[in-house]
Amino acid sequence: MCLSSTRILKAMKSCLKHLCYKLVLEQLAMHKISIRGNENVDKLAKAALNRASYSGKLNCWSDLKPQIDAYIYSAWQKNWDAEGANRLHEVHPNLGEDLHRRGKGACRKRETAMCRLRVGHTWLTQSYLLKNKEQPFYYACDSLYTVWHILIECPDFQDTRRKYFSVTDLYRLFREVNPSRIVGYLSSDDGFPRIRGNPRFWIGGGISSVSAISVASAASAE
């Protein structure tokens, strides 16, 4: 039977009360008080649970949870790796990786904008689906409007891109380049015409109140 530490403490307190002892019991989380021995034991215990094979005695159903999680994640990752031609796989090849940049100066609007850019879903590039029209075409460089083309490939804005970042693939762009520089490129005076004329149309449009200008100002505060 598995008992939580809280239930054990309550049982101990009840026994001591019957014995006429007046004690105050306080529960401390071992991982928060930095006891080196306990930290080492915790690391070894987690490493044992994450092994591919486990031959120990199971005391509780939850002992199987790490193994189940690892199996499901492995199968999920294997299926995702088979989608190598998918643009999203280039941006996010490892499913367990968190691309959100938190910390001082974190801004939900900026995170929303970055998420839209990573998945390629913006009002400028996807609104044709809602309007039941053909996908917009950028005749200056004979290419379709896509987030990836504008961020990485478009030769018309190569000089502008170099002012803000020098990476040439999406994987490095969303890991090595500060979000404020990405937004700065999209809202620059010599940037994409539709972006310069109406930054809100680029990120949010009628779907969301997110605007590239507000995101850029929040990002610049970092």
Map residue 143 onto helix, strand or coil: strand
- pLDDT, tens digit, 9 for 90 and up, residues 122-143: 877 888 888 888 888 877 777 8
Half-sphere exposure of 14 (CA within 13 A, CB side): 6
What whole-number distance in Å separates Cα of residue 161 and Cα of residue 181? 9
pLDDT the model gives residue 78: 92
Higher pLDDT pick, 147 / 36 = 147
Sorted by sequence, the CB contacts under 8 Å of residue 31 that are 6+ apart come out as: 38, 39, 42
pLDDT the model gives residue 189: 62
The whole-model pTM stands at 0.55
Determine the distance from the C-alpha atom of residue 120 to the mean position of all C-alpha atoms in its chain, rounded to a whole number: 15
Half-sphere exposure of 47 (CA within 13 A, CB side): 6
